[in-house]
Amino acid sequence: MKIIDAHIHFCQELYFDQIAELAGHENTSAHLKEQYAAHNIVHGVVMGNRSLELSDHHYPDDLSYCIGLDSTCFKVEEAVRQADLVEKHLLRKNCVGIKLYPGYNHFYLYDPVVDPFYQLAMQYKKPVAVHTGLTATSNALLKYSHPLILDEVAVRYPQVQFVMCHIGNPWLVDAIAVIEKNENVAADLSGILEGRIDRMTDFFAEKHGYINFLKVWLEYLDKYDRLLYGTDWPLANISNYIEFVAHIIPEKHHDKVFFDNANRIYQLGL
């Protein structure tokens, strides 16, 4: 089975190096390439971090990227100027969307300051991926990353395709409601595992309640054409993640979740 990893980070810095090690990986493009070959992962979508400069976003051919407005590079008071820069990215073929980090940046998705970015997404017909759910740093604010907030912009911008990253975890029921109601909202399943898990069978037994809850609500939703495989590399172990997603998604939907949906939503042309 061919796989697209619809959510990775590709940042050469100490923080990412350390989390890669905990996941049993090395945060290098050579190691990533080797892992991709070993698991038949044919493409990855990078969620951008750290900079909006065009020169900071060069990736190997098997990676595309969403230009990311993380808390280190996005300034609310400079949003208009920064939107110009984002537009230059969207003109590139390998820039396949915009990534927003409201919890880390302390803004609501429906704040007018974000409007220029939705306008660009509409104009260039590229999706807006949004970090939802729990955050990795304690100075982030959860009230901004709650999945329910996505409902208002999904309604306001029906032509924009949204990707709810991490499916709002652990607010899964709220996330499912937003996805069910809004056809323009998909979700990636990244960021649910972290580190390396020695035996997945033990993990499935220990986390039986949680995993069953997730499966139950995905079954209830029954929108397997809007769920995307993603890992949040280098946060989690690749082989663990494939096993995890294969376990929570019924086998007849694997091709869609592991490949087709990302290919269609990020318009990768694979």
Q: CA gyration radius for the chain? A: 17
Considering the complex, state which of residue 122 and residue 141 has its C-beta at the smaller distance from Zn ion.
141
Considering the complex, state which of residue 5 and residue 232 has its C-beta at the smaller distance from Zn ion.
232
Rounded to 5 degrees, what angle do the CA atoms 69, 70, 73 make?
80
Would you say 215 and 250 are in contact if contact means Cβ atoms under 8 Å apart?
no
CB of 77 to Zn ion, least distance (A): 25
CB of 230 to Zn ion, least distance (A): 8
Cα gap 174→180, rounded to integer Å: 10
In the complex, which residue's CB is closest to Zn ion?
A: 232
Considering the complex, state which of residue 189 and residue 257 has its C-beta at the smaller distance from Zn ion.
189
Q: How far is CA 117 from CA 69, 89, 124, 147, 164, in A?
A: 10, 12, 11, 19, 16
CB of 159 to Zn ion, least distance (A): 25
CB of 250 to Zn ion, least distance (A): 25
Who contacts 220 (Cβ-Cβ below 8 Å, separation ≥6)? 176
Q: By the criterion CB under 5 A, which residues form the site for Zn ion?
A: 47, 232
Considering the complex, state which of residue 4 and residue 47 has its C-beta at the smaller distance from Zn ion.
47
78, 79, 147: which is closest to 114 by C-alpha? 79
Considering the complex, state which of residue 96 and residue 125 has its C-beta at the smaller distance from Zn ion.
96
CB of 165 to Zn ion, least distance (A): 6
